[in-house]
């Protein structure tokens, strides 16, 4: 029960400093911060453009890549990168060709990705890996190699958004008008989908495939309740993401709870609180 006293007085401060000294804990904090930045920026686009289901399809397709990674003995997260990018391109392609309803396509890719992952893992000889941490995340087990990959992905996401910001906002707000102005709406939409694909990979280590959509949307949705422009919304979403992930990590460590689920519950609580507060203020 020693960890329960971690939140009172001098012992508490010392406990926090002690656990910060652990390498795995530092990795967890860095992974959490990187994830918060990515989901604050990309999650804001997802929320305002209503791409939550698309994001769900892309994230579940990642499971196929993780299975593939195990099968070929490469980093499962790298396998996930290929699969989320593939899913993003596929959804975008079928979508722009108007061959099928987006909803139907997304559902199919969602399920097929999961199924592929299970088949690949079943075909992998010998040791059966622990799939639980990929499905539900375990931020306390993020290896340094994954931190490097995550850092690189955040760098890519930040650069793309920085260069294309005004154009991405125009396409997200009113794509019809953007095409009237002669903007490459289809390419910009693909870039948005690819940004989601990269963010999903980042979030898998933190909260796992099943909970990715929640972390992608909760901080942004909370930020939206009290901001009135996209840059402000993104900044607020990053801040809320940081608070969510960091307090989730500490809570999960202190009370020995699964980290991914704890982070999502903190995010849900913040969102519910913000909704309630707005409701009270408006009535």
Binding stretches for another protein (CB under 8 A): 48, 162-163, 165-167, 169-170, 172-174, 176-183, 224, 227-230, 232-233
Question: Least Å distance between CB 165 and another protein?
Answer: 8
- Whichever of 25 and 45 has its CB closer to another protein, that residue is 45
Question: Least Å distance between CB 5 and another protein?
Answer: 43
On the CB side of 17, CA atoms within 13 Å amount to: 6
- Whichever of 148 and 163 has its CB closer to another protein, that residue is 163
3-state SS, residue 181: coil
Burial level of 97, CB count in 10 A (0-12/13-18/19+)?
A: exposed
CA gap 205, 142 in Å, rounded: 7
- Whichever of 175 and 247 has its CB closer to another protein, that residue is 175
Question: Least Å distance between CB 91 and another protein?
Answer: 21
- Whichever of 139 and 236 has its CB closer to another protein, that residue is 236
Decide if 132 contacts 17 (C-beta within 8 A): no
- Whichever of 168 and 202 has its CB closer to another protein, that residue is 168
Nearest Cα residue to 41 out of 272, 263, 230, 197: 230
- Whichever of 72 and 173 has its CB closer to another protein, that residue is 173
- Whichever of 85 and 221 has its CB closer to another protein, that residue is 221
Nearest Cα residue to 39 out of 19, 55, 23: 55
CA gap 89, 69 in Å, rounded: 20
The alpha carbon dihedral of 280, 41, 249, 5 has a sign of negative
Residues 6+ apart with CB under 8 A from 106: 53, 54, 56, 57, 91
Question: Least Å distance between CB 180 and another protein?
Answer: 5
Question: Least Å distance between CB 233 and another protein?
Answer: 5
Residues 6+ apart with CB under 8 A from 259: 28, 137, 138, 139, 140, 207, 248, 249, 252, 253
Question: Least Å distance between CB 134 and another protein?
Answer: 34
The alpha carbon dihedral of 68, 70, 73, 76 has a sign of positive
- Whichever of 62 and 221 has its CB closer to another protein, that residue is 221
User: How many degrees, rounded to 5, is the angle at CA 282 between CA 275 and CA 238?
Assistant: 35
């Amino acid at each position: 029960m020693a960890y329960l006293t971690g939140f009172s007085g001098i012992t508490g401060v010392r406990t926090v400093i002690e656990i910060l000294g652990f390498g795995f804990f530092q990795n967890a904090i860095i992974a959490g911060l990187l994830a918060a930045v990515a989901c604050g920026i990309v999650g804001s686009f997802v929320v305002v453009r209503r791409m939550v289901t698309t994001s769900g399809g892309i994230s579940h397709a990642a499971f196929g890549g993780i299975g593939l990674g195990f099968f070929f003995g490469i980093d499962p997260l790298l396998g996930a990168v290929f699969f989320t990018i593939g899913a993003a391109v596929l959804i975008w392609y079928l979508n722009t060709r108007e061959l099928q309803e987006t909803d139907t396509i997304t559902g199919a890719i969602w399920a097929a990705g999961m199924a592929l992952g299970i088949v690949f893992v079943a075909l992998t000889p010998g040791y059966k890996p622990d799939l639980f941490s990929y499905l539900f995340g375990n931020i306390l087990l993020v290896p340094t190699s994954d931190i490097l990959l995550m850092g690189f992905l955040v760098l890519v996401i930040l650069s793309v958004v920085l260069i294309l910001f005004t154009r991405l906002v125009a396409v997200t707000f009113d794509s019809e008008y953007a095409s009237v102005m002669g903007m490459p709406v289809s390419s910009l939409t693909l870039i948005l989908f690819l940004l989601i694909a990269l963010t999903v990979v980042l979030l898998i280590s933190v909260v796992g495939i099943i909970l990715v959509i929640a972390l992608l949307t909760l901080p942004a949705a909370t930020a939206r309740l009290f901001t009135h422009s996209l840059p402000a919304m993104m900044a607020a979403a990053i801040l809320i993401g940081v608070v969510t992930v960091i307090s989730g990590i500490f809570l999960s460590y202190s009370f020995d709870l699964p980290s991914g689920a704890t982070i999502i519950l903190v995010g849900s609580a913040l969102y519910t609180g913000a909704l309630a507060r707005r409701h009270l203020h408006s009535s």
